[in-house]
Structure 1
Amino acid sequence: MTKALDQIDRKILTQLMRDATLPIAQLADRVGLSQTPCWKRVQKLEAQGIITGRVALVDPGAVGLGLTVLTEVEAMDHTPEWRDRFLATVTSFPEVMEVLRLGGQSDYMLRIVVPDMPAYDAVYQRLTDKVPLKGVRSRFVMEALHRKTHLPL
């Protein structure tokens, strides 16, 4: 269900997506509110689950995680039990940054971040040891040319 957002909520979200460390006074000034109403709107957006967290963005290469792998997975079957096992497995791996369910030839796409190829191979082996898969295709990211974290509100 889409939540109805007014223009002020959109401005608040846009500012916080660009810099979640903004003090409430600056945020309020940027969106045209006083501090208390602005803070109440932020709390409401959090309570509604629209703001799901606040994080620091880290350059993976700067912390020794130089390989990003996009891994397509074809499910062995489509039972609830298999899906539950698969999801429990992949979400338990700290290297798996995203799990996307797809339409088309592949069923899932995993975004995996690791230091190097041997580390990816270890993730691959752990995954295939724990969950029966019909097929796995991996694509290795050579360079991230464009990346953003804020939504186009």
Structure 2
Amino acid sequence: MKLDATDRRILKELQRDAGRPASEIAEIVNLSTNACWRRIKLLQEEGIIRKQVALVDAEKVDMGLTVFVEIRTSQHDEAWLERFSKGVSQIDEVVEFHRLNGNVDYLLKIIVSSIADYDRVYKKIIRTVPLHDVTSYFSMERIKETTEIPLDKR
């Protein structure tokens, strides 16, 4: 599906607040409510809109510590990767899990309530498979955080 400017404006508005009715978004993007609703449904069917969620304030639910974890391994075989991916993906506190190129093999973003809570998660991670090096970085301040994908064509 090729996105046009109207689709991009709809997506931009949905990323800001997906809870608004289609009629409100339609007015902003200058479409009829039915036309806007049909476009939103098509964006969902095509998988461009994967799902709609509520964004929870981590601080207000006592999960205010963000930890970034770099992982290096000396093993790069498929069986190891499968065990590692499966094990880490099952840890709820891991909210992002990336395989990288360069000096670091994997990067995790973990949300926990405290350093002791992180230690519990760390122990789960190191039980999954043998690891060469694990380095943790505790976020001191969240300067910018967004879930919005930039959609403006450059």
* TM-score class normalised by the smaller sequence: over 0.9
- In the alignment, is the contact (CA less than 8 A) between 2:71 and 2:105 conserved in 1? yes
Q: Structure 1 length as normaliser, TM-score?
A: 0.94
Q: Which structure 1 residue ranges, 5 or more long, are not aligned?
A: none
Deviation of 1:116 after TM superposition, in Å, equals: 0.4
Shift of 1:63: 0.5
Identity of aligned residues (%): 42
TM-score by length of 2: 0.94
Q: What is the match of residue 132 of structure 2?
A: 134
1:29 to 27, 30, 36: 27
Q: Which of 115, 118, 123 is 2:116 aligned to?
A: 118
Counterpart of 2:148? 150
Q: Which residue is 1:92 aligned to?
A: 90
Instruction: Give per-residue Cα distances to partners, 1:83-112, cap 9 Å, x unaligned.
Output: 111111111001000001111111110000
- Tell me which stretches of 4 or more aligned residues in structure 1 moved more than 4 Å: none
Aligned residues: 151
- What does residue range 41-120 of structure 1 map to in structure 2 within 5 Å? 41-120=39-118
Q: What displacement does 1:151 show?
A: 1.6
Structure 2's unaligned 5+ residue stretches are none
Query: What amino acid sits opposite 1:39 in the alignment?
Result: W
Q: Which amino acid aligns with 1:105?
A: N
- The amino acid that maps onto 2:55 is L
The CA distance in 2 between the partners of 1:123 and 1:149, in whole Å, is 24
